[in-house]
Amino acid sequence: MTATDPARTIPTGTGDELTQSVRWLDYHRATLAVKCAGLTEEQLRTASVPPSELTLIGLLRHMAEVERHWFRRIMTGEDLPWIYCDEEDWERDWHFGEQDTAAEALATWQTEVELATKAAEGRALDEPAPDRLPGKELTLRWIYLHMIEEYARHNGHADFLRERLDGDTGV
Give the span between the Cα atoms of 122 and 36, in whole angstroms. 30
Amino acid at 1: M
Q: What is the pLDDT of residue 36?
A: 95
Q: What is the pLDDT of residue 1?
A: 38
> Does residue 51 have a cis peptide bond before it, meaning omega lies within 30 degrees of 0?
yes
Q: What is the pLDDT of residue 171?
A: 65
The phi and psi torsions of 86 (rounded to 5 degrees) equal -155, 180
Q: What is the pLDDT of residue 125?
A: 97
First to last CA, the chain: 13
The phi and psi torsions of 110 (rounded to 5 degrees) equal -60, -40
Could you list the mean pLDDT of each consecutive 10-residue stretch along the chain, which spans 171 residues?
A: 57 90 96 94 94 95 97 94 90 91 97 98 94 79 97 96 88 65
Q: What is the pLDDT of residue 2?
A: 40
Q: Are 43 and 165 a contacting pair, CB within 8 Å? A: yes
Q: Go through 132-159 and write b for each residue having 16 or more CB atoms within 10 A of its CB, e for each that does not.
A: eeeeeebbbebbbeebbebbeebbebbb
Q: What is the pLDDT of residue 92?
A: 87
Q: What is the pLDDT of residue 4?
A: 40
Q: What is the pLDDT of residue 6?
A: 43
